[in-house]
Structure 1
Amino acid sequence: MSRKSARLREQELFRPLVLLLSRQNPTWTASDIANFFEQSDNPPNLNRHALTKKINYLLARGSVFDRKRSGRPPATTAYRNLVLKEIQIKNKASIRNVTAKLKQQGWKTSPSSVYRITKSAGLKWFKKRRSQKLTYDNKIQRVKSAKRLRRNFGITKRSRNWRWNLIINTDFSGKFTLAAFSNPHNEGIWAKSAEEIPPEILNRPKDKFASGIIFWGGISYDGLIPKNGPFDVTSWLQKQVKDKSRKRIYMNSHLYAKFIKEVGFKEIQKVCRTSFIFQDDADTKQRTKIVLETVDKLFDYRISPQEGDAKFADVWPIENIWGILKEKIRGEQFSSFQQLKDRLNNEWKKITCDDCKKMIDEIPKRLNEVINSDGQQIRKN
């Protein structure tokens, strides 16, 4: 029995009987009434002290109804429904924005009451995820590529043309920096005045262009590539440039072709079987003539840029690997790039071969989600 139903049952049966016994027996005290209840066939589920205290309270009030409590009255059904209509699954519907909108409509409300209704309705706040920007043409192309890949490499493991187990999915990571990720909205100092805060504590220094490392890696049925940790592309690029005065170095088509020949192909051979299908990003530099010729010479089979799509970051599992690594080191501060690489290598080795197989087996399912959503961004697990 719930607390509400127990209270209603008490209000309907127990309280009227206490007041009736008091009127019929004016000489009875609370102790006498308690004796009557304890000797009945269905005594209350209370000890002697609690029962006597409850009877005393009822005799003092002389009413079966609850005392009116102070405070703001509960929200009406119309107001509650309006709040949920304005805030649930709506864009830019923060507590403050919804409160301001309701006030403009003439409702007397506050952020606390809106927040209380959202919590009572079981709503939770979900932060928006960053995703690639997709135009209408991108969505059309994503659907075409998804259908083509499912047709060429299989839909399920029972398919005769199932070849996803031969895929080697490679790509570059985003930039990994030494500084820990922090939310500027959470960085503040409690003080009586700003003048009493020392400058070294008050200021939050930040590099305009934070230095970091970009890695290269791949995922296959045989595990991650390279086996012991992602490859440091930033250090490799610095060795390729003769002009040391250049501060920024970019991966162009000639350097990428050289990288695949000297690094990528060798690392893949160390991990994978002799028969495999190479896949890399369908970016501009991967579509150049020199890169296409280099890849064709090194690999017998590949997913061509025409088969894949440059906007498949939510499909290929290597993007999940980079996301896992970034999440593992979130909030950590590193004193050197070597410390950062050691930390990433440790997390890289924890991802097992079985984990890689599960991620690759999800590719045709994700492609199907892309088709069913008309090319929209899909949720990555």
Structure 2
Amino acid sequence: MLSLGNCLDGHSLYCLLITTVTAVILQVPGASSIVAPSSNCYALDNSSHIFDFSSWLGQPFEYDGKDSDLVVRFCKDVESRSQTGYVDFGRFDKLNHFVAGSGHINFVQEFYNGDLLNCERTHDKMGRTAQVNIICGSCSNGQCTGELGCICNVTYESTCRVLVELAIPCKEQGVRVFQGFTVGFHPRSWEIVYNGMTQLGFDKSHHAFSFGTEQTYVALYMTAIASLSTLVQKPTVKIFPEHGLKVGLSGSGATGRPPTTLSPTMLVVDWSCEKAHDTPYEVDITIPVEGYEPIQFTLTKMCEYPQGKGGGTTRGWAIFGVASCIFIVLSTLFCCGGFVYKTRVERQRGLDALPGMTILSACLEAVSGGSHYSRAEDTNSAFINQASWERQPDAAQGTWKTSERKYGSI
């Protein structure tokens, strides 16, 4: 058997193969995710393996029998044809009902909300409905000869309900999906992962879904079916490019605590930009699940500037500058308002305004003139002087003595 040591014995082709495979593995930032199919035309079988029928969407299957002339448009609708025209037996339920079957039936599709003619009083208020039972293979009676399959038989349960048996060559089963598992930004949401499948926007790096430079962490909430929650293991993280973004995981989800629908676990992604980058960083998070394909999704982080010591200082000065401007504006308005009020009061009392100073000059003097910090004595002196010229001259009263530092009325 060839081994890596054979490279020394002249097996150049083997060495080239080893080198190429290793290079490809190292270049891939993370393994592929189980991405939700491009349409709702997919199903999970009884073993949780996914079958994607998106390419079959709208494919018509016709049945021309003695008592029925019917058409099934795959994942679209079911119609019956007669001399009076088409009778709608429902449209495909995109939300709920492409599910696994039982016995010889592999999958079941439900079609609801058909014509109301003679079906106005159905118990479910949905008019005519249809159920399409899908067999992977051929009809039991060997009717199907075409490559795309055919309708084996049609049975009318009533005027308002029809059962259709459809045989098709199902594709090879896909990966095994961990059903019921969700990841979202809130305890009851699933923006990132729904039913074990990664949603659009988090399957790979998407610039439109990037987190901003200033966001230093993001909290994710994970839920799973209680009976399967112990299968969830500790998450791991990979970053691409490897250097420039510092990432850490914390929270109950990071320790491997089993998540349930009643008690979600929280996975906190702490990240900080150490190096600015023109394109977003890719943070690939993998959550292993015993017996299933791992849950994988990608978070995208912008780094327009570093968030280290230098970046923090710059932001600090910016915040200080904005706060200073706001303080100056508010101080100016307060000062000017005070002087206007004081001037009006003095005029009502028959006193002159401040000698040699206009309101504007007084405001400027109060706001910008004091570029130095005043001492306690200066502040107190100003208070005393103001009190002295506010009082009317009175020979009966004693004069103020600032050296004695006596404040208040006499």
Relative to the length of structure 2, the TM-score reads 0.21
**Relative to total residues, which structure has the larger strand share, 1 or 2?**
2
TM-score normalised by the chain length of structure 1: 0.22
Q: Which has the higher contact order (CA 8 A, sep 6+)?
A: 1
Structure with the higher fraction of residues in helix conformation: 1
Say which one has the larger Rg: 2
